[in-house]
Amino acid sequence: MTRPVLHDYWRSSASYRVRIALNLLGIDYQATTVNLLTGAHRAAENLAVNPQGLVPTLEIDGQALTQSLAIIEYLHETNQPASTLMPADAAGRHRVRALSHAIAMEIHPICNLSVANHVAEITGGGDEAKAAWMRTFIGKGLTGLERMLDDPRTGRFCHGDTPTLADLCLVPQMYNARRWGVDLAAMPKLVAIDAACTEMEAFAAAHPDRIGPPA
């Protein structure tokens, strides 16, 4: 089998999610950097594998797969029965997807750097406007998520005691929340789950600081 290739960027939350999944599943892969700061995502080379001009893309099984959550569901489905990234029951899968989407749909897209840069531009407010935007929408989204976790099915991780897709979404979002100075004092469940994840090498090895910026 050809070794999978991940088109990656160290600080992309979406890339970070896929790195954790590959590590948890023990899939050996090769990473290639798409430098978002130099616009490499909009270049022909990236558009050829990712028509939206985004990261990540995972080349695997003769296909170029895009969209991080869709990639992770694919990796789960094609690594049965080993993968436990999704629960075995329909109600559990619904809950894990709902938690994942509460992050990946309700927070992350609004707080994408390209959106925040657009806000800084149209307000003329520069970095301060950008940071205020981030704190507003990350804070609001995480507040709703903390309420969703007030559920007997929450365990050491978002759903039970093994990591699922929801935790793969949470950890990069918490990294971003801290980076932008979001106040996490009212979110003890999120903080505890993030800490439990961080103890696992599969999560730690995927952290942006372990990957580092492009040379």
Q: How far apart are CA 41 and CA 53, in angstroms?
A: 5
User: Counting contacts by CB under 8 A, is residue 144 touching a copy of itself?
Assistant: yes
Give me the least distance between CB of 2 and a copy of itself, in Å please: 16
Q: Which of 132-140, 156-164, 182-190, 194-202 is the region at the interface with a copy of itself (rule: CB under 8 A)?
A: 132-140
Q: How far apart are CA 101 and CA 42, in angstroms?
A: 26
User: Counting contacts by CB under 8 A, is residue 39 touching a copy of itself?
Assistant: no
User: Counting contacts by CB under 8 A, is residue 108 touching a copy of itself?
Assistant: yes
Rounded to the nearest 10 degrees, the angle between the axes of helix 126-148 and helix 90-104 is 160
Place of tokens 């890339």: 15
Nearer to a copy of itself, 71 or 182 (CB): 71
Q: Which of 2-10, 21-29, 125-133, 199-207 is the region at the interface with a copy of itself (rule: CB under 8 A)?
A: 125-133
Closest CA to 168 of 7, 17, 6, 9: 17
Q: How far apart are CA 203 and CA 209, in angstroms?
A: 12
Give me the least distance between CB of 90 and a copy of itself, in Å please: 5
Q: Which of 13, 67, 154, 173 binds a copy of itself (CB under 8 A)?
A: 67
Q: Which of 25, 27, 49, 148 binds a copy of itself (CB under 8 A)?
A: 148
Closest CA to 173 of 101, 87, 90: 101
| DSSP string covering 123-187 | HT-HHHHHHHHHHHHHHHHHHHHHHHT-STTB-SSSSBTS--HHHHHHHHHHHHHHHTT---TT-
Q: CA 38: distance to chain centroid?
A: 22
* Binders of a copy of itself in range 78-97 (CB under 8 A): 78, 90-91, 93-95, 97
Give me the least distance between CB of 155 and a copy of itself, in Å please: 18
Q: How far apart are CA 115 and CA 127, in angstroms?
A: 13
- Interface residues with a copy of itself (CB under 8 A) are 47, 51-54, 61, 63, 65-67, 69-71, 73-74, 77-78, 90-91, 93-95, 97-98, 100-102, 104-106, 108-110, 112, 115, 118-119, 122-123, 125, 129, 133, 136-137, 144-145, 147-148, 150
